[in-house]
Structure 1
Amino acid sequence: MMNEDYYSHLVKKLEQQRDLTDEEFTAILTCADEKTMDFLQQRARAVREKNYGRDVYIRGLIEFTNYCRNNCYYCGIRRGNERAQRYRLTEEEILACCEQGRELGFRTFVLQGGEDAYFTDERLAALIRAIKKRCPDSAVTLSIGERERDSYARLFAAGAERFLLRHETANQAHYECLHPAEMSYSHRMQCLQDLRATGYQVGCGMMVGSPGQTIAHLLQDLRFLQAFQPEMVGIGPFIPQHDTPLAGYPAGTVAMTTKLLAIIRLLLPQVLLPATTALGTIDPEGREKGLLAGANVLMPNLSPTAVRQKYTLYDHKICTGEEAAEHIRSLAQRVSSTGYQIVKKRGDHLSFTERSN
């Protein structure tokens, strides 16, 4: 049995940017010692504060369409879910969300949706330009799935600066257990490379505790993050959705999610790291726990109230109350309870901030 000093040594190696062996990573991933986990999170907080201080950046999430061409086995807006109540927001509805968000202090808007063919490059480019015209001091992040490189380039040229595309898992066999045969692991990974080459600040990430996931898979995810060096990493616990093939599987855990947040913060010191809505869904204090594990981003929902419950990626998703952007003051108080503060900034990755100065 490994002692506490051994685990502390591994945490310090991570913090010092010294590479861990597979065996050492596995030791931390499987460690359940409470003192070690407290030390891991303490060091993660120190690293995030060294790079970003005590600031927490907020992103206004606008879920603008729940139509999707894909049939991912875990997702509630999958093409095959006939019970999903489909919707698309109009350009004016989206712009109204942005204007409301800007008044509330948001300086980043995240357009998130299924892979909806209605939103062509032309429509999306026009929408991005309109947002930048009305909110010129704000960043636009896209989270709209797999497209081709020329499409990403057109949207970047229109003014989008960031793109979130979760890789979900870095193990191809595991990927194929979560997606139908028509979807390609290699194409997902190629999209991330295309986004990087285009000039975006790129975000990837994985589900924690997804069906079939092993410690070896998580190790592969960490190795992928080491190699790819994304500007953002979005991870959250798997949560089943009742109208999907994976409805009967258990959810991921807060403990493993926060452990991975802390590891990722030490692995990628300057990364932008959200405490996700999914984390807040499985634990009422999940997002606070995420911030205390090294996260520095929150993504409150700016979508119109009428559609929030229709964007059902998973069951019991937070969509009212304190998750609603109208209650940003309450959210700010909750953030303050962790010793951090919400700020009215774009919150770019430090390497991009340096380039723009």
Structure 2
Amino acid sequence: MEYCIIICNSTQHMLNADKILKENSIKTELIPAPAEYGSVCSTAIKIDAYNVDVAEKLLKINSVSVKGIYPYKIRKLDGLLEIINKGLNRDIKAVLEKVEKGIELTEDDIVLLLSADGDENLSSIYKAADEMRKAVVGDVVDIRAAIEFSNICRKNCLYCGLRRDNLTVDRYRMDVNEIVETAKELKQMGIKTVILQSGEDPWYTEDKIIEIIRKIKKETNMRITLSIGERTEEEYQHFREAGANNFLLKIETTNREIFKNIHPDDDFDYRVKCSQWLRGNGYINGNGNIIGLPGQTARDIARDILFFKEMGIHMVGIGPFVPAAGTPLETYPHGSVDMTLKTVAVTRLVLKNVFIPATTALATVDKEAQVKALMAGANTIMLISTPSKYRNRYRIYSNKNMVDLKTAYMAIVKAGRKLPPYINKEYIKEIV
């Protein structure tokens, strides 16, 4: 079956278009917009090609501003098998042949890649993912920065060092002015996107979050990512209207039993509903999983990846489980770096045009793992930019590695990738 994608001239027009098409019984799928069509709207609407004429008329009648309607291109990697190892496993080769031809991978294909071992097999998977990354998002590594503004949390997740019942944590909250001033410092560095991250702290009401968003927008005009957990649909809508651009809310695992075990006071269906609300409000939607949770299998991870695809996720954060002191899982071993890297690579092969960070958790387990992730499909690094007096108190896991601009610069250089042009060159001179 052939498909087309509709690119609108704004997020609001995209949401309106999607609603109109659905109301007229046209099946739609929201997907990350291919990079070649620019950034006027980060989400494209995918429809069956035979519906194009009707869709075009409906959108024109309803005054929806459309940049264009284009054929949906199958992303192929011509010549892939010529540049990867010749001695790789036959079954893995067959899956990579599907990648080369642009054929969608099945759940069993994904499980096969995630279960691969041996240097030749792994290096071939990583090479394929790196080629896909290069084809869809290029060589520049996006650098973003996080302000961890509160380590107080109402939730009691078993794996998280910020959990409500962890009495070893020295709690803090940053006030609005501290947060805004820190964002202004990041603006001077050249950072374009600030991530506002916290535990689920009810002290930061809807009004307080809106005040923070508006002040950062007024003072810096930076893009804002929120990572503040589960809220109501109305709150997500109001944060978006106030100026928030992105939202990161990880599912952690799509295995309901594991989810229930590690989230004693969470509801899986509500978490999914939150992601749907975020998508419906036009956020650049971030999600992700933890690799190495108790009881997790390669098939669980495969289903995570397919969930991200189904949800039209734009950014996928993938990190190994890292134990945190004062939690029920503090003696549990950390997740496998190899499995995490395989997940990064396979996520790139399946989702293609998405942001995938080389996560801080990877750097905590293995100081070279961020470089390895960049060479296996990742294209983003998040700096830890919390003020120093709070930084060591934000311990979602123990022995958290510090990722600053120097760390990011060194990883990018070692991976043979390019710095983003927006970083202030004066800061690079200080590092070099």
Q: 1:4, 1:36 within 8 Å by CA — same for their partners in 2? A: yes
Does residue 18 (structure 1) correspond to residue 92 (structure 2)? The answer is: no
1:1-357 paired onto structure 2 within 5 Å: 4-14=89-99, 16-136=101-221, 138-180=222-264, 182-319=265-402, 323-324=403-404, 328-329=405-406, 331-345=408-422
Q: 1:17, 1:266 within 8 Å by CA — same for their partners in 2? A: no
Matching residue's letter, 2:392: Q
Return the alpha-carbon distance in structure 2 between the equivalents of residues 196 and 20 of structure 1.
Answer: 24
> Residue by residue, what CA displacement relative to the aligned partner does 1:306-328 show, whole Å, maximum 9, x if unpaired?
11110110011013xxx23xxx2
Return the alpha-carbon distance in structure 1 between the equivalents of residues 330 and 343 of structure 2.
Answer: 24
Kindly state the Cα deviation for residue 115 of structure 1 after the two structures are TM-superposed: 0.6
> Residue by residue, what CA displacement relative to the aligned partner does 1:258-300 show, whole Å, maximum 9, x if unpaired?
1110101111111011000000000011111110111011001
Cα distance change, pair 85–344 in 1 and its aligned pair in 2 (3 A): farther
Matching residue's letter, 1:27: L
Return the alpha-carbon distance in structure 2 between the equivalents of residues 336 and 121 of structure 1.
Answer: 41
Which blocks of at least 5 consecutive residues in structure 2 are unaligned? 1-86, 424-432
Kindly state the Cα deviation for residue 63 of structure 1 after the two structures are TM-superposed: 0.2
Return the alpha-carbon distance in structure 1 between the equivalents of residues 273 and 171 of structure 2.
Answer: 29
Over the aligned positions, Cα root-mean-square deviation in angstroms equals: 1.6
> Residue by residue, what CA displacement relative to the aligned partner does 1:116-143 show, whole Å, maximum 9, x if unpaired?
111111110111011111111x210000
Kindly state the Cα deviation for residue 219 of structure 1 after the two structures are TM-superposed: 2.2
Matching residue's letter, 1:148: T
In our comparison, the structure showing a higher alpha carbon Rg is 2
Q: 1:75, 1:241 within 8 Å by CA — same for their partners in 2? A: yes
Residue in structure 2 matched with residue 351 of structure 1 by the alignment: none
Matching residue's letter, 2:253: T
Which structure has more RCO (C-alpha within 8 Å, separation ≥ 6)?
1
Return the alpha-carbon distance in structure 2 between the equivalents of residues 3 and 285 of structure 1.
Answer: 25
Cα distance change, pair 108–297 in 1 and its aligned pair in 2 (3 A): same
User: Taking structure 1 as the reference length, what is the TM-score of the superposition?
Assistant: 0.91
Aligned residues: 337
User: Taking structure 2 as the reference length, what is the TM-score of the superposition?
Assistant: 0.76
Q: 1:59, 1:109 within 8 Å by CA — same for their partners in 2? A: yes
Percentage of matched positions with identical amino acids: 36
Q: 1:85, 1:310 within 8 Å by CA — same for their partners in 2? A: yes
Kindly state the Cα deviation for residue 242 of structure 1 after the two structures are TM-superposed: 1.7
Q: 1:204, 1:234 within 8 Å by CA — same for their partners in 2? A: yes
Matching residue's letter, 1:14: V
